[in-house]
Amino acid sequence: MEAVTVSDTHRAIDAVWRIESAKLIAGLTRIVRDVGLAEDLAQDALLAALERWPESGVPDNPGAWLMATAKHRAIDTFRRTQRVERKHEELGHELEARQEMMVRELDEAIDDDIGDDLLRLVFMSCHPVLSRESRTALTLRLLGGLTTDEIARAFLVPEPTVAQRIVRAKRTLSEAHVPFEVPRGNELNARLASVLEVIYLVFNEGYSATAGDDLVRPALCEDALRLGRILAELAPDEPEVHGIVALMEIQASRLRARTGPSGEAILLLDQDRGRWDRILIRRGLAALERAERLGGANGPYALQASIVACHARARTADETDWGRIASLYDALAAITPSPVVELNRAVAVAMAFGPAEGLEIIDRLASEPSLKKYHLLPAARGDLLEKLGRFDEASKEFKRAASLTRNERERDLLVGRARANDKPEKRK
């Protein structure tokens, strides 16, 4: 019984960490002004929770507990540093006073409202001193609480590569003394693109979790949406900001319909559209109209928003305008060509013009290195093979897709589709 209790507590701690880690790191970064140190302190607090909560139970306000624990670790760290530096007589009076002030700030910080610290953390992580890849990896780690493995799968790159990027990025930010703030004016505009990319990757991790027992992680979607809405207020004349907000609002409207009563995955065309959130759809369509009024109809996020808007406007799956969706993917592929966009275009082409035409596009992607372990490639191929009556081949593709995904709900869905194609009645 005790083992079950400990296991349950560890699952609860993992869930709390997913929800609270970004706020914890952001709040600590505001005080210690070093994102690497802030993450270390947050990890120390997590280890303390793993040690104590199995016996004491999860506290009523776990986020506050973690922040209080991290704060005390930070105070201890600064006091140890002060003692060592005093012994070596390397501290001037001004630096001593500054460190003492930081200790006092940390003592008071536990009750502070973090305000827009998450947004500041995103801009700090997306500073131009870092490479594009490092900005995205670091922000996903800090904001989304993702592991290096999960980020690697999102990027379709090896895990050690991501780990190196994160370590180097934190070191670079510390050495460059990058300020913990939201930039203004021209600097804000210059850094928007990387910030938007990161926000949408965080949203996607919430919308379709890379790994674990749950298909969706709504808290991540909510954080990404909040950041997007704040950005829309900060940069009201930037069409792509409204484009990404539109995209996230409309996609978020489907969250409740993406899973069944037991958490099982439900495909888009099989979803109960009565469960779609019409308020979020209206907000999304309004944001899309703003992007279009600002001349941004052909921006990458606005185009993706237009694609999901086609689904939102269709009262039933049969009413979906797949021809328009295919043409929108053509436009998206022209401005942001990538294997994943091409895969999505193939699905749209198949729905609009027949599975054979879509399969022809997918087969051209078979040798694409970046898609070698991307489970949605064999999943899409299996779907088209099934539609063409090639059931043995479809089953193999679904089994391969199931072996590649690390999300339990997706795996269950894919295994089920493989079994369905193995049934004798399919061949009659």
Per-position b or e across 71-109, b if 16+ CB within 10 A of its CB: bbbbbebbeeebeeeeeeeebeeeeeeebeebbebbeeb
The whole-chain average pLDDT of the chain stands at 86
The reported pTM is: 0.74
* Distance between CA atoms of residues 59 and 67, nearest Å: 12
Average pLDDT over residues 211-236: 87
Return the number of other C-beta atoms located less than 10 Å from residue 366's C-beta: 11
How many angstroms separate the first and last alpha carbons of the chain?
51
Helix or strand (DSSP H, E) at 71: helix 62-87
pLDDT digits (tens, 9 = 90+) for 54-100: 888 888 888 888 888 888 888 877 777 655 455 444 444 544 555 55
pLDDT category at 211 given cuts 50, 70, 90 is confident
- Determine contact, residues 105/181, Cβ cutoff 8 Å: no
Model pLDDT, residue 188: 79
pLDDT digits (tens, 9 = 90+) for 239-266: 999 999 999 999 999 999 999 999 999 9
* Distance between CA atoms of residues 412 and 403, nearest Å: 11
Model pLDDT, residue 97: 54
* Distance between CA atoms of residues 313 and 8, nearest Å: 42
- Determine contact, residues 380/363, Cβ cutoff 8 Å: no
- Determine contact, residues 292/309, Cβ cutoff 8 Å: no
Model pLDDT, residue 198: 84
Model pLDDT, residue 242: 97
pLDDT category at 418 given cuts 50, 70, 90 is very high
3-class DSSP state of 158: coil
